[in-house]
A and B are shown apart, each in its own frame.
Chain A
Amino acid sequence: MKESAAGVAAEGASGDEELVERVLKSRDRNSFELIVERYRKPVMTIAYRMTGDYEGSVEIAQETFIKAWRYLGSYRPDMRFSSWLFKIAANEARDHAGRKRRSLEHEISLEDRESGPLESSWQEKTDGAIMVQSLLDELREPYKTAVILRFMEDLSYEEISRIMDCSIEQVKNYLFRGRKYLLTLAREGSYGQ
């Protein structure tokens, strides 16, 4: 079944609260499995776009759901469930990116590396998809997270501000500067031509 990253969240919003309630009341694994099915694609999208590391993003997505299961009791309905989940995913992805950066710095400092960089077992299918990742990789935080969350379409400025723990004004600023830089890079690299 093909899932749209942005669409699934919207489609699932109506039933999320009931599923969460069932999990909380009776630790209903079937309900949680539905949540995983519903959000695995958008969570993977956030993880991959934030890290550019496919294998890592699978691990991040799994960790996201495991944390969601463990800490579901702290979820508050004043935030959409999808936003709550995306917040975990974004935090996990940032942590992963930080660990990977430190690990790479360590590896580079070793002179006798025996093997080259790891080959990803999955490649994006289109040039555009590869290019968008290379653009995102150039963005610094917090602009990167803001732009990625906004690209998820379904998320409003207010939701992004809650996910990023900042004000709506800051979100506006991050989005403006982030997208402006992204467009500058895209123009310089003759994006899509």
Chain B
Amino acid sequence: MDSECDYEERVFLYMDGMLDRQDSSEVEEHLASCRWCREQVELLSKIQNDFHADIVVPAGFTAGVMDRLEGIVPEKVDGGEAVKNKTGWTPIAHAIAAGIVFISIFMIPGSQATSLEIGNLMSSLFSVIKSLHIPVLFSQTIAQNLHFIAAYVTAVAALVLYTSMARSRRRPVMVNGADN
């Protein structure tokens, strides 16, 4: 046979030791009768041997690395918790805290000025909603709870914003594939 062979994928798996005994025997039988596959195996083995040609590590490589480590402090990670926190719960905890702070600001009496500004904005939105002829009862409910709605919308927005910022900032050290 001097063209491609359907067995090719299995031959590669066989070369990698990925087949069980029965499949391996089957591939071995096939190899005995298929010149194309035998040539593929030989060629791939040759390429793989050449791959390991002696690549020279320059003299002083190790010393160079050790010199460059001067002044670099390894990140102390106790059982990996620091990294885990950095990319896991810390941003969420901060976001929750930020959300609580925002909600508190709008709940306390002294925060009327700020909440009024938001309230004005929400009033404008309310007129738009009104112009859409949403049932009156529903519109009034919105109007009566503008401060709370503003507070919660702001808190949620802050939470989403903070979380997305934290995610974009995080930089897994060595496990980030192509997007490193």
With A40-B57, A157-B18 known to touch, is A66 a contact of B174 (CB < 8 Å)? no
Once the chains bind, are A165 and B53 in contact (CB under 8 Å)? no
Chain A residues whose C-beta falls within 8 Å of the C-beta of B55 in the assembled complex: 5, 41, 44-45, 48, 57, 124
Chain A residues whose C-beta falls within 8 Å of the C-beta of B82 in the assembled complex: 73
B141 at the interface (CB under 8 A from A): no
Once the chains bind, are A5 and B16 in contact (CB under 8 Å)? no
Once the chains bind, are B69 and A71 in contact (CB under 8 Å)? no
Q: Which A60-115 residues sit within 8 Å CB-CB of chain B?
A: 61-62, 65-74, 76, 84, 87-88, 91-92, 94-95
Chain A residues whose C-beta falls within 8 Å of the C-beta of B175 in the assembled complex: 87, 165
With A44-B57, A176-B12 known to touch, is A192 a contact of B46 (CB < 8 Å)? yes
Main secondary structure of the interface of A (DSSP, over half): helix
Once the chains bind, are B52 and A4 in contact (CB under 8 Å)? yes
Complex alpha-carbon distance, A40 and B65, angstroms: 10
Q: Which B84-123 residues sit within 8 Å CB-CB of chain A?
A: none
B137 at the interface (CB under 8 A from A): no
Q: Which residue of A lies closest to B47 (CB)?
A: A132
Once the chains bind, are A62 and B50 in contact (CB under 8 Å)? no
Once the chains bind, are A69 and B9 in contact (CB under 8 Å)? no
Complex alpha-carbon distance, A31 and B107, angstroms: 57
Once the chains bind, are B77 and A74 in contact (CB under 8 Å)? yes
Query: Residue A74 contacts which of B69, B80, B180 (CB distance < 8 angstroms)?
Result: B80
With A36-B66, A73-B82, A165-B175 known to touch, is A151 a contact of B51 (CB < 8 Å)? yes
Complex alpha-carbon distance, A32 and B178, angstroms: 27
Count residues of A near B (Cβ-Cβ below 8 Å). 70
With A37-B62, A69-B69 known to touch, is A74 a contact of B54 (CB < 8 Å)? no
Complex alpha-carbon distance, A165 and B179, angstroms: 11
Tell me, rounded to whole Å, the shortest Cβ–Cβ distance linking B121 to chain A: 44
Tell me, rounded to whole Å, the shortest Cβ–Cβ distance linking B76 to chain A: 6
Once the chains bind, are B43 and A186 in contact (CB under 8 Å)? yes
Complex alpha-carbon distance, A74 and B13, angstroms: 33
Complex alpha-carbon distance, A27 and B13, angstroms: 42
Chain B residues whose C-beta falls within 8 Å of the C-beta of A129 in the assembled complex: 50-51, 53
Tell me, rounded to whole Å, the shortest Cβ–Cβ distance linking A66 to chain B: 6
Tell me, rounded to whole Å, the shortest Cβ–Cβ distance linking B14 to chain A: 12
Q: Which residue of A lies closest to B84 (CB)?
A: A74
- Chain A interface residues (CB < 8 Å from chain B): 2-6, 23-24, 27, 29, 32-33, 36-37, 40-41, 44-45, 48-49, 57-58, 61-62, 65-74, 76, 84, 87-88, 91-92, 94-95, 122, 124-126, 128-129, 131-132, 135, 141-142, 148, 150-151, 153, 157, 164-165, 172, 175-176, 179-180, 182-183, 186-187, 191-192
15 CB-based A-B contacts, threshold 8 Å? A3-B57, A24-B74, A36-B61, A37-B62, A44-B55, A45-B55, A66-B72, A73-B83, A92-B180, A128-B53, A164-B177, A165-B175, A175-B12, A176-B12, A183-B47
